[in-house]
A and B are shown apart, each in its own frame.
Chain A
Amino acid sequence: MNWPLESQRKNYGKALVELGKRRQDVVVLDADLSGSTRTVEFKNAFPERFFNCGIAEQNMMGTAAGLAVGGMTVFASTFAVFATGRAYDQVRQSIAYPDLNVKIVASHAGITVGGDGASHQTMEDIALMNAIPNMTVIVPADGPETYRAVLAVADRPGPAYVRMGRSEVPVVTSPDDDFEIGKATVLREGTDVAIIGVGQMVAPCLEAAEALKAKGVNAQVINLSTIKPLDTATLIKAARDCGAVVTAEEHNIVSGVGTLVAAALAENCPAPMERVAMQDVFGQSGESDELMKEYGLSDKEVFAAAIKVMERK
């Protein structure tokens, strides 16, 4: 489909500058990746409120916590693999446990990092952040939604994790959408199968729905941009209306969003499910689109999963 492409990271930079204008209490930290995460936009606009922590992610998270103790609203950014892996204990102990107002907005998540390879990719970050009490977890589907999500987390006290990819992604959300933390959006109505997309997988889900339509299948597509708190009401309604569910995420199948959806449905209205995700393997170097195909994260797999799950109704 002909969606315009936009970068999530650039929208993050834009949102930070907007926040910086609106609020004096917004402070931004980065760990030597400000050009990549686009926190450089905030640095250029408000240099006195930007601190580069160098390649020291653990200290960055602790410093962010201290700034929050001092009353600031803090954004801390680096690549997702380092934010959630390298600094996991600092996020848990110094940010989430004391319930501090720190927003971890991480870029280059998933495998679409591309050429850097598995050391810089992450397919376990959602699982890690989701397992921590007090943490809000958000995976915006596109650039504009990233912008709206960043403004929303700034207004909600407490820790949050916002996941962004590296690549430009299709704009699939509407500028009229009010981003509400904890609210999933139905992007396409349908009653034959519910396809629940996360982040960059939302666009392939919509493409699969279009291909399914040609086969006479009326698929519902949901953008599940808040992972925690999970919008179980929307998920349950989708499962009830459609009787079959597919999830799609650029994340490990183990402890991924699919497992969360499965748990929520199992407790409320069990339905046949298929999960499109990384199959518990590390990624490798390659172009983003090559990698998505290699690891079965394209519209084709979503389409196939939908056909398969409907047979189990």
Chain B
Amino acid sequence: MNVNEKRIHELELKAASLRQHVIRMIFAAGSGHPGGSLSSADIITALFFEVMDHSPARKDSQDRDHFILSKGHAAPIYYSALAECGYFPVDELMTLRKLHSRLQGHPSRVKTPGVEMSTGSLGQGLSVANGLALALRLLGLERMVYCLCGDGEMAEGQVWEAAMFAAHNHLDNVIAIVDRNGLQIDGRTEDVMALEPLSDKWKAFGWNVLFMDGNDMWQVLETLEEAKLHKGAPTVIIAKTIKGKGVSFMENNVGFHGKAPNEKEFEQALRELEGSV
């Protein structure tokens, strides 16, 4: 891997600053989903600032790497990455969820520069990633499609229809990442609708299955690189993460799946994240 410790540290700092954006945005909006944005912050940072070949100038081109956020409620971390990459002004982040904002509560392809697909109704992103991967193949472009999924949305039947389709068509240019933070709105995934053995399910559907600590930048980069090298079948990475990662009182706290912090919590969250920088 072409990454040294200095670069890892830079990316960790970037992830911490994106997490701060997330907290500021959701506090300003008064609603939103901090838990799943914070759990996936390191994965998003790795993809947008190191792994994917992309740029705002090429946003309408197919000849670049692509990203679909299937877990659309993690829009704040996605928008933070897009803004920091220059797709729109960073100041605009604070308009999240406001009337006439380009930053909808869930991603919208028609409103937000850089957003390739509207998502929010869960379980639909992987099908879209597959279709995009087929298009790239038809165009003769050797480009990747990364699809970040939630673990709760694995209960949607369409996910498994898409899993079958990708394996059947040998879509090795699709990399699905499951943000396995273990929590969904109503509680632990294993209490609400048990997913385990999750990796066996993906294997049985014909996927190459990898694992990583999704909050360890080094592992994230290493695993994404390994995934890209696998040929002949699509790869899914089951990323063990901590919901609410980086803010002590949000970590593993299902209460912060879809709730904004109050003023006191907001200040503490920012102090903790600034401390980690």
Contact = CB atoms under 8 A, between A and B. Distances in A.
Interface string A64-78: 111111111010000
A79 B133 CA distance: 26
B128 A66 contact: yes
Given A58-B158, A99-B110, A65 B134 contact: no
Counting chain A CB atoms within 10 Å of each CB, the highest count among B119, B136, B165 belongs to B165
Interface size range of chain A in the complex: 20 to 34
Contact of A69 (B132, B157, B165): B132
Contacts, number: 117
B113 interface: no
Interface string A89-101: 1101110011110
Contacts of B68: 66
A35 B236 CA distance: 34
B164 A54 contact: yes
A69 B116 contact: yes
A53 interface: yes
Contacts of A59: 127, 130, 158, 161-162, 164-165
A71 B139 contact: yes
Contacts of B62: 70-71
A66 B108 contact: no
A58 B128 CA distance: 11
A101 to B, nearest CB: 11
A56 interface: yes
Interface in A181-213: none
B133 A66 contact: yes
Contacts of B139: 70-71
Contacts of B157: 58
Given A72-B138, A93-B124, A98-B110, A67 B118 contact: no
A291 B164 CA distance: 39
B165 A93 contact: no
A105 to B, nearest CB: 17
Interface of B: 62, 66, 68, 108-110, 116-121, 124-136, 138-139, 157-158, 161-162, 164-165, 168-169
